[in-house]
């Protein structure tokens, strides 16, 4: 389980005007909720938040949020960004409590080089990047490895084939494809040349027979 730290302060003012003023002052409006608590409005330092988001996977990292000196274990649930500017508009935190399972998306990481790619120039296509699971926060994995070493051309791995860590329950469709090894793509020019060569080879006996008949007629 990956963790990170972040500071925040309580804020009492609300509304669009207060939020704009807060952003101009170098903070991002935020809210924390969960564990039967009333939602609390917060202000998070913009630069500190930006640095954190640059180095962690927000959806599967436990953020130890220090609110005026009191630490709460949280998970980032929503990040709102300005549609045109590179600006964080709002962020939601969910408080985590051991024993209360949460739903998260955990990154899937491909491990190894498949036989199809290594020996036959196949192409590995990862069709799923994250796996939705239910898990106790204390057992939440940073990522889940997908070993593709034994995959040959045409082989694939589905959600049902993934070996999950203890305490993790998958919620994604078990029949969904995760990775597949496809045959190498054929260059169009090479394919045309091969087809022309095959046509010429097939026509050659006909040419020889025609020449023999002409010689016999002399």
Same-fold call for 2-97 versus 103-182? no
pLDDT band, residue 194 (cuts 50/70/90): low
**What one-character-per-residue DSSP string does 82-115 give?**
-SSSS-EEEEEEEE--TTS-EEEEEEEEEES--H
183: tokens are 């045959």
Yes or no: say if 40 and 49 are a contact pair by the CB < 8 Å rule.
Answer: no
pLDDT band, residue 217 (cuts 50/70/90): low
- Residues with Cβ < 8 Å from 148, sequence gap 6 or more? 110, 111, 112, 113, 114, 124, 157, 179, 181
Query: Domain residue spans in the chain?
Result: 2-97, 103-182, 188-218
pLDDT band, residue 57 (cuts 50/70/90): confident
**pLDDT, position 42:** 95
Q: Give the integer Cα–Cα distance in Å for 134 and 104.
A: 7
Superfamily of domain 2-97: Ribosomal Protein L25; Chain P (2.40.240.10)
**pLDDT, position 216:** 60
Yes or no: say if 162 and 170 are a contact pair by the CB < 8 Å rule.
Answer: yes
Q: Give the integer Cα–Cα distance in Å for 30 and 182.
A: 45
pLDDT band, residue 16 (cuts 50/70/90): confident
Q: What does pTM read for this prediction? A: 0.71
User: Which residue in 40, 42, 60, 38 sits closest to 6, CA to CA?
Assistant: 42
What separation in angstroms does the CA of 151 have from each of 50, 110, 115, 179, 182?
39, 12, 6, 9, 10
Spatial strand order in the sheet of 177-182: 123-126, 177-182, 156-158
Across the range 29-44, mean pLDDT stands at 90
Q: pLDDT tens digits for 93-136? A: 999 987 889 999 999 999 999 999 999 999 999 999 999 999 99
CA 200, distance to chain mean position in Å, is 49
Q: Is the pLDDT assigned to residue 197 strictly greater than 80?
A: no
In words, the CATH class of domain 103-182 is mainly beta
Query: What is the overall mean pLDDT for the chain?
Result: 86
Across the range 189-217, mean pLDDT stands at 55
Tally of CA atoms within 13 A in the half-sphere of 154 that contains its CB:
0
**pLDDT, position 207:** 52
pLDDT band, residue 152 (cuts 50/70/90): very high
User: Which residue in 95, 99, 51, 38 sits closest to 70, CA to CA?
Assistant: 95
Q: Is the pLDDT assigned to residue 148 strictly greater than 70?
A: yes
The more confidently predicted of residues 37 and 124 is 124
Q: Give the integer Cα–Cα distance in Å for 216 and 210.
A: 10
Across the range 201-208, mean pLDDT stands at 55
pLDDT band, residue 82 (cuts 50/70/90): confident
């Amino acid at each position: 389980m990956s963790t990170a730290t972040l500071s925040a302060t309580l804020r009492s003012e609300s509304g669009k005007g207060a939020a704009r003023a807060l952003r101009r002052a170098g903070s991002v409006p935020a809210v924390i909720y969960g564990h039967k608590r009333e939602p609390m409005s917060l202000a998070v330092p913009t630069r500190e938040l930006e640095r954190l988001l640059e180095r962690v996977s927000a959806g599967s990292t436990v953020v130890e949020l220090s609110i005026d000196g009191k630490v709460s274990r949280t998970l980032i649930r929503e990040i709102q960004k300005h549609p045109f500017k590179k600006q964080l508009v709002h962020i939601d935190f969910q408080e985590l409590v051991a024993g209360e399972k949460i739903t998260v998306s955990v990154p899937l990481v491909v491990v190894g080089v498949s036989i199809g790619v290594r020996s036959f120039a196949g192409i590995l296509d990862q069709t799923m990047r994250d796996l939705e699971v239910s898990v106790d926060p204390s057992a939440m994995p940073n990522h889940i490895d997908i070993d593709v070493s034994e995959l040959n051309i045409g082989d694939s791995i589905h959600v049902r084939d993934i070996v999950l860590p203890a305490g993790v329950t998958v919620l994604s469709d078990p029949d969904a494809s995760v990775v597949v090894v496809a045959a190498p793509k054929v260059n169009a020019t090479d394919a045309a040349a091969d087809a022309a060569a095959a046509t010429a080879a097939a026509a050659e006996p006909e040419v020889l027979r025609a020449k023999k008949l002409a010689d016999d007629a002399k």
